[in-house]
A and B are shown apart, each in its own frame.
Chain A
Amino acid sequence: MDWDIVIGIETHIQLKTKSKQFSGASTAYGNEPNSQACLVSLAYPGLLPVLNHESVNCAIKLGLAINAKIARRSIFARKNYFYPDLPKGYQISQMELPIVGPGYLSINANEKKKDVRILRAHLEEDAGKSSHGVSQGKTGIDLNRAGTPLLEIVTEPDMNSAEEAVAYAKKLHELVQWIGICDGNMQEGSFRCDVNVSVKKKGTEVLGTRREIKNLNSFKFIKQAVDYEVNWQIETLEDGGKIDQATILFNPETGETKAMRSKEEANDYRYFPDPDLLPLLVTEEQIDEIKKLMPKLPDEMQESFKKELGLSEYDASEIASDSEVTKYFLALVDSKVNPKLSANWILGNLYSRLNEEEININQSPIDSQRLAELIKRIEDSTISNNAAKKVFDFIWDKSSITVDQAIDELGLKQISDSGEIDILVDQVLKNNQLMVEEYRSGKDKAFNALVGQVMKASKGKANPSQVSELLKQKISK
């Protein structure tokens, strides 16, 4: 039997603010336990939450970036549950009237473009951290993270494969960093996805029962978890079983998903408007102000790379998929290097070297200025493209040597002196009479072989276009 896969994703992103959502405690990561637990984080009675202005700005930025409606009036609610890392007994969140309303994000998966609808995005606060079993039968509570500003972004069930789910997560991950509202650090939990998965018989309308895979913090895990879960659900149904709605966890070590012990009365959060917080009003002027600060978005950037700089669809999308790569590329273009050549170098030699060394482009030992110098030497015919690759590898870990010094040291300067090339061409013509005849009788391949011979004689230093011009002249004489 054929099945349709239906996936929706809820993403929690930690907002890039200095202080917490409702208090002036620091949000820094990795400090000593409870050193950032202020009285609001500790839920001391009588203390009132005061919303962070910057979080509101971040939410508006996201709204603008996903073409969403931004609520002029939104309200905060209490989501009630008991857990030791939530001292108040409720999380402040938004239920009715979230700050960001319906929007969409365009993704590319399996070579198909698709708009994933985003239902809403709302502001809330993170809980503290529990360490189970710090000693026998005990749990340790660190409230440094309690109250950290979060934005939860919820999609419609619009994705139909693990690949689409990953493409969406990657696109959103890139976008929130691009617009500067999240540091995107997945190890530290700044970007985590809850993935809702269900299956239904192909072509039927009614959605199947969904199970929610909690807290996936890597793209690889999303792929593995969804694949495993989909198989499990299909097998269960084909064996005549039934899917129960459940919250499940993915175990990266076994690659399996498993239902959490279902909490009694789970999901009865008894939401109600938080009387401590007044409605949040956002004015047209505020939104306009933020609009002015917004960078060009990846999709717009990609368009302008294609239209204004003449990059191919593939090159443009590869470069615009990462803000750091875009910065590097634009720096090359700014130093008047040919854009296409720049893109080739970044996506070719630079990428393969960065992958080899497992580092990011902003950690590259060859910065954009150095790469610009190198590419310019190709453009002014000082060296050939192949020679430039040798120079690139040579200067990779030698920051003290300039590009020109490296060219000299490696002896790769092209011979542009036409006298020298003249002699080489004459020699080759003399020694390869047969090939010359073949070319004259119409075999074009013979000509390339002749060019190759001259290049070989010059040890690769002759300028190929100059060589082929000279050869043509001499043969047709």
Chain B
Amino acid sequence: MTIRKKDIEKIAHLARINISQEESQKLENKLVGIMSLIDKMQTVDTANIEPMSHALDISQPLRKDEVTESDLRKNILPLAPETEEYLFIVPQVIE
């Protein structure tokens, strides 16, 4: 599998990262290299190997269902560019 310029543009858009033409070219070269490494790895027979989802092979610790957090509005609201009646204000998004 290879990667093209338009794939890079698409991924950048999905991740909301602005990249220049020059950066795009550099990224293309790097990513093509990474993809060829992945292609090589794909040739390994993994039919009988359980997929690894995490580097640490231990179980997730769980948290007791208790409310431990308090109202932080005094500290957090002033950090936002704009607030109104305790709401964070962003440019209107219409769905």
A residues near B (Cβ < 8 Å) are: 17-19, 23-26, 32-39, 42, 50-56, 75, 80, 82-84, 96-97, 130-135, 137-143, 260-261, 265, 268, 270, 273, 275, 277-281
Contact = CB atoms under 8 A, between A and B. Distances in A.
A36 B68 CA distance: 11
Binding site secondary structure of chain B: loop
26 contacts: A17-B65, A18-B65, A18-B66, A19-B69, A24-B69, A34-B73, A34-B86, A34-B87, A34-B88, A36-B69, A52-B62, A53-B65, A82-B16, A96-B53, A132-B93, A133-B92, A134-B87, A139-B92, A140-B85, A140-B89, A141-B88, A273-B54, A275-B55, A278-B61, A279-B54, A279-B59
B86 A35 contact: yes
A139 B59 contact: no
A132 B92 contact: yes
B1 interface: no
Nearest to A214: B95
Interface string B78-95: 000010111111111111
Given A25-B67, A278-B54, A138 B90 contact: yes
A34 B32 CA distance: 44
Nearest to B10: A265
Contacts of B94: 132
A278 B85 contact: no
B53 A54 contact: no
A79 to B, nearest CB: 12
Nearest to A20: B69
Interface of B: 10, 13-16, 51, 53-56, 58-69, 71-73, 76-77, 82, 84-95
Most buried by B among A26, A32, A137, A278: A278
Contact of A19 (B68, B87, B88): B68
Contacts of A278: 54, 56, 58-61
Contacts of A281: 59-60
Closest 4 CB pairs of A and B: A24-B68, A140-B87, A54-B65, A281-B59
Contacts of A56: 62
A61 to B, nearest CB: 14
A173 B34 CA distance: 48
Where chain A touches its partner, the secondary structure class is loop
A139 B84 CA distance: 10
A392 B90 CA distance: 58
Given A270-B14, A279-B60, A33 B85 contact: yes
Contact of A139 (B55, B60, B62, B91): B91
Given A84-B90, A138-B92, A37 B76 contact: yes
A131 B58 CA distance: 41
Given A23-B69, A75-B53, A270-B14, A84 B64 contact: no
B49 to A, nearest CB: 15
A223 to B, nearest CB: 24
A51 B63 contact: yes
Contacts of A17: 65
A138 B64 contact: no
Contacts of B91: 137-139
A85 to B, nearest CB: 9
Contacts of B77: 34
Contacts of B63: 19, 24, 50-53
A466 to B, nearest CB: 61
Contact of B87 (A25, A142, A275, A279): A142
B68 A135 contact: no
B88 A143 contact: yes
Given A19-B66, A140-B84, A280 B14 contact: no
A280 B92 contact: no
Contacts of A268: 14
B89 to A, nearest CB: 5
Contacts of A50: 61-63
Contact of A34 (B51, B60, B68, B76): B76
A138 B71 CA distance: 25
Contacts of B67: 18-19, 24-26
B34 to A, nearest CB: 15
A261 B95 CA distance: 7
A141 B65 contact: no
